[in-house]
């Protein structure tokens, strides 16, 4: 970085090879910060999630009722099934390409993909045309996905090609593409800025007087171009978050769709309009945690700024990015009808469970309003789910 800020060492930092092993990520980070100076929050987050030795996603099976947090596909099969319905509509709107790629970024335990493929199985013409590509960094998660999707990936299954994995979105094949990403963007690092006396400064992670990890402000001023309107009128202590890594994902996908045609859905918690506020959070064992306690032990995320993402999509040639709340999206795709069918002739207990799942996925007090669904298509396609 040429702005006078001291970047932390990267995981491959030659200065660390051959050194005594660390027993925890906290110890490793304290050593590096003591040696090289504070890290930007984004680097801290990246290290906590992806450190090859101690990172959260590299070492843990995090998601699910027994894991640290629960996601929509883990709540109910209806979520993945309705996204399967959306996929069928998108493939038809693209004039049924006879070869296409169905991609998922950050597939977790593979649950969404399994539920979705069950819906697609009713369309052998689509299954034959399809190549499934999963974008996943973590070897532990890849193993979980392979196990969950085994039935679809074996020879003789109806999926056209075997399921394969790539490291990054840039590795997607040049084919018409349907891409799904549920709770993927929130896991990508973001920078945080705080209004201080002399202007907006970036949040960093350093050491306090007792040698513990602590938040501090880095000396650098924020680039005014990334600050939203009204930033200069904000009171001291006000917080703004910006995630260029998330915008880069949107730009990569937009360029891929523009080149190959297709459609993408990004589903995550966040705000439809950019705003101020600290949304950095750690979740472990279904509770909020201190993001600086036990680095690598908890999931670290922040809310997604969908206004910035839609702007990034527009700037990358997506004519009309569409945004809906998760509740509106799922209802438009037939959540209530699917729930009715699933509960028909079942016990009252099972029906109550399905009703509770509907409420959790689509109810405004649960995930329905907080979660948003951003749809990108090229060419512009009006698809079910976004009015
Ligand atoms: N979509 C799943 C999982 C969400 S958790 C669900 O809804 O249950 C985030 C997922 O993204 C995990 O599988 C994690 O290993 C993966 N991931 C995080 N950062 C990534 C990156 N930079 N590249 C690829 N995958 C990543």
Cα distance between residue 61 and residue 145, in whole Å:
11
Separate counts of helices (H) and strands (E) for the chain: 15, 16
pLDDT, tens digit, for every residue of 321-370?
999 999 999 999 999 999 999 999 999 999 999 999 999 999 999 999 99
Strand positions, DSSP E, the chain: 39-40, 100-105, 130-135, 164-166, 177-182, 191-196, 199-207, 213-221, 239-242, 262-271, 281-284, 287-289, 299-301, 304-305, 322-325, 371-378
pLDDT, tens digit, for every residue of 309-324?
999 999 999 999 999 9
Cα distance between residue 19 and residue 13, in whole Å:
11
- Site to probe by mutation for ligand 1, drawn from 72, 74, 137 as the one with most ligand atoms within 8 Å of Cβ, is 137
User: Residue 12 above 60 pLDDT?
Assistant: no
Residue 24 lies in a domain: no
User: Residue 173 above 90 pLDDT?
Assistant: yes
Buried-state track 60-73, b at ≥16 Cβ within 10 A, e below 16: bbbbbeebbbebbb
Residue 287 lies in a domain: no
> So what's the pLDDT on residue 151?
84
Least confident range from 4-8, 78-82, 185-189, 293-297: namely 4-8
Least confident range from 13-27, 83-97, 203-217, 236-250: namely 13-27
pLDDT, tens digit, for every residue of 182-202?
999 999 999 999 999 989 999
- 9-28 mean pLDDT: 67
Q: What is the CA radius of gyration of the chain?
A: 22
Q: Which CATH number fits the domain that encloses residue 361?
A: 3.40.50.150
Residue 231 lies in a domain: no
Residue 82 lies in a domain: yes
Return mean pLDDT, the chain.
Answer: 91
Distance in Å, CA 184 to ligand 1 centroid = 5
Task: State the sign of the Cα–Cα–Cα–Cα dihedral 129, 264, 167, 288.
Answer: negative
How far apart, in Å, are the Cα atoms of 309 and each of 178, 304, 317?
Answer: 18, 8, 13
Residue 170 lies in a domain: yes
Which two structure tokens, joined as six digits, stand for 43? 């680097």
> So what's the pLDDT on residue 11?
45
Chain-centroid distance of CA 314 in Å reads: 20
Distance in Å, CA 74 to ligand 1 centroid = 14
Of 8, 175, 150, which Cα lies nearest the Cα of 100? 175
Residue 214 lies in a domain: no
Residue 248's domain comprises 73-186+244-274+303-377
**Domain count of the fold of the chain:** 1
Q: Kindly give the number of the ligand 1 atom that is closest to the alpha carbon of 50.
A: 19
How far apart, in Å, are the Cα atoms of 264 and each of 71, 268, 340, 352?
Answer: 19, 13, 28, 33
pLDDT, tens digit, for every residue of 123-143?
999 999 999 999 998 888 899
Task: State the sign of the Cα–Cα–Cα–Cα dihedral 63, 65, 71, 75.
Answer: positive
- Tell me which residues have their CB closer than 6 angstroms to ligand 1: 57, 63, 71, 73-74, 106-108, 112, 135-138, 141, 182-184, 187
Neighbours of 17 (CB within 10 A): 7
Distance in Å, CA 294 to ligand 1 centroid = 20
Contact 39, 8 (CB under 8 A): yes
Contact 55, 49 (CB under 8 A): yes
Least confident range from 152-166, 178-192, 240-254, 355-369: namely 152-166
Residue of the CA atom closest to atom 11 of ligand 1: 106
Residue 230 lies in a domain: no
Q: Kindly give the number of the ligand 1 atom that is closest to the alpha carbon of 183.
A: 4
Residue 238 lies in a domain: no
Q: Are strands 304-305 and 371-378 parallel, antiparallel or unpaired?
A: unpaired
Contact 31, 213 (CB under 8 A): no
């Amino acid at each position: 970085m040429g702005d006078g800020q001291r970047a932390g060492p990267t995981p491959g930092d030659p200065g660390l090879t051959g050194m005594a092993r660390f027993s925890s990520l906290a110890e490793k980070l304290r050593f590096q910060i003591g040696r090289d100076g504070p890290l930007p929050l984004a680097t801290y987050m990246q290290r906590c999630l992806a450190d090859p030795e101690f990172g959260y996603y590299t070492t843990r099976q995090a998601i699910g009722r027994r894991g640290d947090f629960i996601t929509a596909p883990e709540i109910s099969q209806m979520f993945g099934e309705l996204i399967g319905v959306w996929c069928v509509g998108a493939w038809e709107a693209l004039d049924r390409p006879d070869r296409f790629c169905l991609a998922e970024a950050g597939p977790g335990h593979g649950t969404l993909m399994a539920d979705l493929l069950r819906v697609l199985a009713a369309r052998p013409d689509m299954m034959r045309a399809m190549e499934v590509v999963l974008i996943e960094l973590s070897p532990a998660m890849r193993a979980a996905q392979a196990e969950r999707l085994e039935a679809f990936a074996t020879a003789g299954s109806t999926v056209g090609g075997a399921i394969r994995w790539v490291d990054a979105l840039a590795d997607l094949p040049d084919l018409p593409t349907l891409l799904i990403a549920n709770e993927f963007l929130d896991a990508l690092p973001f920078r945080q800025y705080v209004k201080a006396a002399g202007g907006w400064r970036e949040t960093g992670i350093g050491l306090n007087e007792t040698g513990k990890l602590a938040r501090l402000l880095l000396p650098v001023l924020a680039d005014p171009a990334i600050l939203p309107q009204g930033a200069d009128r904000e009171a001291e202590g006000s917080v703004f978050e910006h995630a260029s890594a998330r915008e880069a994902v949107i730009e990569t996908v937009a360029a891929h769709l523009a080149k190959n045609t297709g459609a993408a859905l990004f589903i995550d918690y966040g705000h439809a309009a950019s705003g101020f506020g600290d949304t950095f959070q750690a979740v472990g064992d279904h509770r909020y945690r201190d993001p600086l306690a036990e680095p690598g032990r908890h999931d670290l995320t922040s809310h997604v700024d969908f206004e910035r993402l839609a702007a990034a999509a527009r700037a990358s040639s997506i004519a009309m990015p569409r945004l809906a709340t998760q509740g509106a999206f799922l209802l438009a795709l037939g959540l209530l009808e699917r729930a009715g069918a699933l509960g028909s002739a079942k016990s009252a207990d099972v029906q109550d469970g399905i009703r509770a799942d509907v409420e959790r996925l689509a109810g405004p007090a649960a995930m329905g309003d907080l979660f948003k669904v951003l749809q990108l298509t090229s060419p512009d396609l009006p698809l079910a789910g976004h009015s």
